[in-house]
């Protein structure tokens, strides 16, 4: 099984509140279907989640009264995004069902605990469960933000996928910020030592951390028998080629 995270930067326009990248998502769903691989899918929140979550500091848990309304609005918005994605998956021929993280699971001081039974049942009848970054109740903090990357980590521990693919809007990890430095070089394989040397301020405007945090999660999950790969989903066919086992421009995490 291949675990795929569709990142917020590729499924939405992160600069504009609730802007869905319908064409890109539709193509990515067709690329997944065409690969004929057995997959589980998680998606990020993009501008459906991060804009309000950041404004109301939801990642800090319950710290003031005006957050309650924001919790409800962010939950509503990420479900709206999830519905749009489920529609594209079904239109592409993938029988997908939504498993809303905040409705099904609880966090304990930011730590997500997933009971896999519902997902196992869906998988056993040929349905693809889809989870997403969400606002989740937290036994210690009242609520918190659970990122898609944290869900991926949890699912990887439970379902032992052969491969984990993070689909983003960048070709991979660079040795310096490619938006600032024209001679930034793409790194094909990242390990702990290489990651240490990459500037940590090279992050996107997220409440759940940027490229650096993602690479760290990837290093945690990769092994000799499991590839963890960051790939650019804005390039036509790249995800499809990667799913089919071809060599593509990307960054792989290496222990």
8 contacts ligand IP8 (rule: CB under 6 A) = yes
Q: Number of helices (H) and strands (E), helices first, in the chain?
A: 10, 14
Residue with tokens 């989903």, as numbered in its chain: 233
Neighbours of 223 (CB within 10 A): 10
Q: Which of 2, 28, 45, 119 binds ligand IP8 (CB under 6 A)?
A: 45
Burial 145-167 (b: 16+ CB within 10 A, else e): bbbbbbbbbbbbeeeebebbbbb
Comparing CB distances to ligand IP8, the nearer of 181 and 200 is 200
12 contacts ligand IP8 (rule: CB under 6 A) = no
Q: Which of 24, 29, 78, 92 binds ligand IP8 (CB under 6 A)?
A: 78
Question: What are the backbone dihedrals phi and psi of residue 75, each rounded to the nearest 5 degrees, phi first?
Answer: -60, -45
Residue 19 pairs in a beta bridge with: none
Cα–Cα distances in angstroms (integers) from residue 206 to residues 35, 58, 111, 221, in the given order: 31, 12, 19, 22
How far apart, in whole angstroms, are the C-alpha atoms of residue 161 and residue 135?
25
Residue with tokens 């070089």, as numbered in its chain: 185
Q: Which stretch binds ligand IP8 (CB under 6 A): 82-90, 200-208, 222-230, 244-252?
A: 200-208
Shortest reach from residue 54's CB to ligand IP8, in Å: 8
Asked if 82 and 12 count as a contact pair (C-beta separation under 8 A), the reply is: no
44 contacts ligand IP8 (rule: CB under 6 A) = yes
Number of residues that bind ligand IP8 (CB under 6 A): 18
Comparing CB distances to ligand IP8, the nearer of 116 and 210 is 210
Q: Which of 71, 207, 215, 250 binds ligand IP8 (CB under 6 A)?
A: 207
Binding mask 142-181 for ligand IP8 (x = CB under 6 A): ---x-xxx--------------------------------
Asked if 78 and 49 count as a contact pair (C-beta separation under 8 A), the reply is: yes
Q: Which of 128, 131, 133, 202 binds ligand IP8 (CB under 6 A)?
A: 133
Comparing CB distances to ligand IP8, the nearer of 15 and 176 is 15
Binding site for ligand IP8 (CB under 6 A): 8, 44-45, 49-50, 53, 74, 78, 133-135, 145, 147-149, 206-208
């Amino acid at each position: 099984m291949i675990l795929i995270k569709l990142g917020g930067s590729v499924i939405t326009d992160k600069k504009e509140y609730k802007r869905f990248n319908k064409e890109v998502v539709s193509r990515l769903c067709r690329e997944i279907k065409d690969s004929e691989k057995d997959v589980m899918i998680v998606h990020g929140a993009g501008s459906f989640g991060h804009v309000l979550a950041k404004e109301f500091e939801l990642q800090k848990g319950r710290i003031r009264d005006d957050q309650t309304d924001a919790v409800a609005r962010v939950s509503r918005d990420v479900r709206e995004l999830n519905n749009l994605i489920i529609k594209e998956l079904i239109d592409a021929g993938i029988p997908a069902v939504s498993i809303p993280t905040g409705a099904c699971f609880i966090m304990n001081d930011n730590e997500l605990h997933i009971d896999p039974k519902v997902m196992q049942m869906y998988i056993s009848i040929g349905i693809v469960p889809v989870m997403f970054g969400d606002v989740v109740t937290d036994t210690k903090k009242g609520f918190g933000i659970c990122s898609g990357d944290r869900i991926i980590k949890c699912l990887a521990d439970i379902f032992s996928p052969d491969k984990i693919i993070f689909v983003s809007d960048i070709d991979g990890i660079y040795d310096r910020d490619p938006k600032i430095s024209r001679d930034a070089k793409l790194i094909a394989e990242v390990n702990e030592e290489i990651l240490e040397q990459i500037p940590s301020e090279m992050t996107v405007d997220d409440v759940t951390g940027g490229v650096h945090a993602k690479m760290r999660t990837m290093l945690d999950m990769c092994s000799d028998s499991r590839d963890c790969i960051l790939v650019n989903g804005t390039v036509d066919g790249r995800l499809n080629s990667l799913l089919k086992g071809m060599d593509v421009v990307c960054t792989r995490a290496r222990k």
